Amino acid sequence: MRGDRSFWDPEHETMSIGELRAYQLSRLQQMLQWAYEHCPYYNNVWSAAGIQPTRIDSLEDFSALVPFITKEIIIDAQQRKPPYGGFLSVPTADLARIYVAPGPIHMPFTAEDFEGMAETVAIASWAAGLRPDDIANVTSNYQWVIGGTLGDCGYRKVGCAVVPGGVGNTKMHLEAMQALKVTAIFTFSTFLVQLAETAKQMGLDLGNDLALRVAMIGGELKPKEAITNLEQMYGMHIRETYATADLGMVGFECDGRAGMHHHHHHIVEVLDPVTHQPVPEGNGGEIVVTSLFRKAMPIIRLRTGDVVGFMSHEPCSCGRKTPRLGPIVGRVGDIPRVKGMFIVPKQIENALFSFKGLGRFQMVIDRPKVGDVLTVRIEAAPEVDQAATKPAVIRALREAIRIGAEVEFVPIGTLRESTPLVLDNRTA
Ligand SMILES: [Zn+2]
């Protein structure tokens, strides 16, 4: 019985970084050999590049030699050679689940692969504080995509009773959660906000009428105040996670709440989105992940397109030794580089969160002579005292993005949903 344990998988969660790297290298070598022998896609690409798995002796070799894959590469390969694009590595008889999405992607899993995916959810759920006596509502989509079933099976592994609520119908979610005394919810923060609005219309008091004590939410960068507000409103604690349909839970928060630990069955690299070289400890970059358990369709060095604030190898107060990822701050391509720094729109959004009366914003980048100039155009309501607010906004922005920015207020309604978030006027 694991009920009294702090960790779901104490052996792997508390091994030292050195032990973890050795463990991962050994698993990686097996996975590379498997992909080389059974997966036509990798066999073709690696053979053309002269890569032999038996020659990969270290994680450094792996990073330096093995090419990336991307969602675009998978989609393109599958469109040229349907349905799997040379990625299927087991006989059809060994398949247990096939997902069609997200996007035009076919994703096959063996039963063992899917167990591995569910295990990533179990480890994250245990760290979030879920235990067998919890009743958990899974609000992800159960159709075509993996999200709902994955959350469901992960929670079942932990021993929770699952209410498969799925997406939509907020009123029914609230009624069921109240009647069944649901204690945990697997959701996005936007759905928590929506539930709170509907609860108000129904005359429900979230703190007293619901029994929720923990929520696991998607790892999008949100202001700390927004999370704290939700925690207070519901009278529960919230733990952030970072998951993808290809990999399961890649990162999960513990009670230390100083980043998201990553799962030992994933090799996680954080790379400069432009040079594709590893970033120095503490810096942000694009997350590249290799699954050490997916065999039906091996996922090796997948560029996720997600940019993370940092990766830390420092020990965590919770006792886990697995490295921690910072918050997800955006997508590659939405993040311009100004004066040598990546400027993350979400960081600007968060910096502006506490100012009353401000609306949408737009980043305008110019290069009048040699240096870059970033101007943040921000909608301000008529009651905003612009002269008094401007210096405070400039200070908050400097703190958030680490470079100086000009601020220009514009009337509410000037910037629309269709207005580009980034206007880059620099000519190469
Ligand atoms: Zn921790």
Distance (Å) from CA 352 to ligand 1 centroid: 29
The token pair that represents 113 in the structure block: 């692969």
Where does residue 179 rank: exposed (0-12), middle (13-18), buried (19+ CB within 10 A)? exposed
Measured CA distances, 265 to 117, 232, 262, 307, 308 (Å): 10, 34, 9, 20, 19
Average pLDDT over the chain, rounded to an integer: 92
**Domains in the chain and their CATH numbers?**
1-331 (3.40.50.12780), 337-424 (3.30.300.30)
Distance (Å) from CA 241 to ligand 1 centroid: 13
What pLDDT is stored for residue 293 in this prediction?
A: 97
Q: What tens digit of pLDDT does each residue of 28-55 get?
A: 999 999 999 999 999 999 999 999 999 9
The token pair that represents 92 in the structure block: 């059809």
Phi and psi torsions of 345, nearest 5°: -50, -35
What pLDDT is stored for residue 189 in this prediction?
A: 87
Q: What tens digit of pLDDT does each residue of 113-154 get?
A: 999 999 999 999 999 999 999 999 999 999 999 999 999 999
Arithmetic mean of pLDDT, 67-75: 93
The percentage of residues in the chain with a pLDDT greater than 70, rounded to a whole number, is 98
Report residue 394's pLDDT band, with 50, 70 and 90 as the boundaries: very high
Q: Name the one residue in this structure whose structure tokens are 């906004």.
A: 393
Q: What tens digit of pLDDT does each residue of 261-299 get?
A: 999 999 999 998 878 899 888 888 999 999 999 999 999
Distance (Å) from CA 259 to ligand 1 centroid: 8
Asked if pLDDT for residue 24 goes beyond 50, the answer is: yes
Distance (Å) from CA 15 to ligand 1 centroid: 13
Q: What tens digit of pLDDT does each residue of 374-388 get?
A: 999 999 999 999 999
Q: By mean pLDDT, which of 14-18, 40-44, 102-106, 414-418 is the weakest?
A: 102-106
Asked if pLDDT for residue 425 goes beyond 90, the answer is: no
The percentage of residues in the chain with a pLDDT greater than 90, rounded to a whole number, is 76
Arithmetic mean of pLDDT, 341-345: 78
Q: What tens digit of pLDDT does each residue of 229-251 get?
A: 999 999 999 999 999 999 999 99
Distance (Å) from CA 91 to ligand 1 centroid: 40
Where does residue 115 rank: exposed (0-12), middle (13-18), buried (19+ CB within 10 A)? middle
Distance (Å) from CA 256 to ligand 1 centroid: 5
Distance (Å) from CA 165 to ligand 1 centroid: 30
Asked if pLDDT for residue 2 goes beyond 60, the answer is: no
What pLDDT is stored for residue 1 in this prediction?
A: 45
Distance (Å) from CA 283 to ligand 1 centroid: 19
Asked if pLDDT for residue 186 goes beyond 50, the answer is: yes
Amino acid at 279: V
What pLDDT is stored for residue 219 in this prediction?
A: 62
Asked if pLDDT for residue 102 goes beyond 80, the answer is: no
Asked if pLDDT for residue 316 goes beyond 90, the answer is: yes
What pLDDT is stored for residue 335 in this prediction?
A: 76
Rounded CA separation 83/388 (Å): 60
Give ion ligand 1 contacts, CB < 5 A.
254, 256, 316, 318, 320
| Closest CA relative to residue 408, chosen from 344, 399, 417, 423 | 423
